[in-house]
Amino acid sequence: MRLLSGRFPDSAGQQVGGPSTLGGHIAPPEVWLTAVQGFGRYLVQLHARAGAPSRRDLAGRTGFGKSTISDAFAGRRLPTWPVAEALVAALGGEVLEARERWGAAKAGSSRAQEPPGWLTSVRSDIPELMVSTDFIKACAAAPGDPKKALAASWEALRLSAGQLTRARYKVVPGNWSSDIVATFRRAEDDGLLPAGVTAVADAVHRYHVDNQFPDHEPSPTAEVLQVVFLAFRLAWQARDVVVSARA
């Protein structure tokens, strides 16, 4: 795979307005969330990794009611530590890490956090991957052909994940969708990429897959444009890591 240098319009670096639900997930978790909502998002991620057990199942495991569990996931209020501890244990999470997160959420501000710099910084020299449909063409396709726009977004992540895996981990990457998302999760966990990139990769994949089904109602143009933006933004972020590894 070959890397090219290209340009995005400066407006690509501006903040996407307001909270955006991507495939049922807020992306990324640090953006537009209060500290309490961020802790709820952390519980949601644990829930997904544990195979998404039902609220009834979790109520049986933890001894707490379904409404209490739902409130904890939704981030409407910070759960008490006994509730949080029981949920984390039931979902296979690290209790010590959860305690630190819970304490930070309790001490945190009730105001939404500022969007991270990797989403809002403006660059005029953003590099592009060698994809069949580049960023500008993907944006142009969004109103009339959302499938094409979303496929281009997923292709950008697939190629960048492959380059990232080769450059940083010295292994041949897998082609399964789970391999692509796992690459970004590993890079995020290792500190190579900033927090939130796994949620973005997962959301892009969900939108891409959902819109491939013939009976699926096409996603609104505004949502597709946000997915395209997030995907390519993540792709050049990963590309920066690849370039630094080759330097």
Supply the DSSP string of 203-234, one letter for each residue. HHHHHHHHTTSTTSPPPPHHHHHHHHHHHHHH
What does the pLDDT read at residue 111? 54
What does the pLDDT read at residue 10? 28
Residues 161 and 142: beta-carbon distance below 8 Å: no
What does the pLDDT read at residue 194? 84
What does the pLDDT read at residue 15? 30
Residues 91 and 47: beta-carbon distance below 8 Å: yes
Cβ within 8 Å of residue 89, ≥6 positions away = 95
pLDDT tens for the chain, 247 residues: list them: 233 233 222 233 333 333 333 333 333 334 445 778 778 878 888 888 888 888 889 999 999 998 888 888 877 788 999 999 999 999 999 999 999 989 988 887 555 555 666 666 666 665 656 677 888 899 999 999 999 999 999 999 998 898 888 888 887 767 778 888 889 989 888 888 887 788 888 888 888 888 877 777 888 888 889 889 889 989 888 888 888 877 6
CA distance 245 to 189: 17
SS3 assignment, position 30: coil
Residues 113 and 31: beta-carbon distance below 8 Å: yes
**What one-letter code names the amino acid at 70?**
S
Long-range contacts of 112-117 (CB under 8 A, 24+ apart): 112/32, 112/33, 112/34, 113/30, 113/31, 113/32, 113/33, 113/34, 113/35, 113/38, 115/15, 115/30, 115/31, 115/32, 116/28, 116/30, 116/31, 116/194, 116/195, 116/196
Does the predicted TM-score (pTM) go above 0.75? no
Alpha-carbon distance values, 126 to 28, 67, 151, 159, 163 (Å): 20, 46, 20, 16, 17
> Which one, of 33, 7, 6, 8, lies nearest residue 20 by Cα?
33
Q: Give the tokens for residue 36.
A: 């309490």
What does the pLDDT read at residue 27? 39
> Which one, of 200, 119, 223, 214, lies nearest residue 154 by Cα?
200
What does the pLDDT read at residue 29? 37
CA distance 210 to 219: 9
CA distance 102 to 98: 6
Domains of the chain from N-terminus onward: 3-25+118-246 (1.20.120), 33-107 (1.10.260.40)
What does the pLDDT read at residue 173? 67
In the block, tokens 């060698």 appear at 130
What does the pLDDT read at residue 55? 86
What does the pLDDT read at residue 129? 61
- Cα-atom radius of gyration of the chain, to the nearest Å? 19
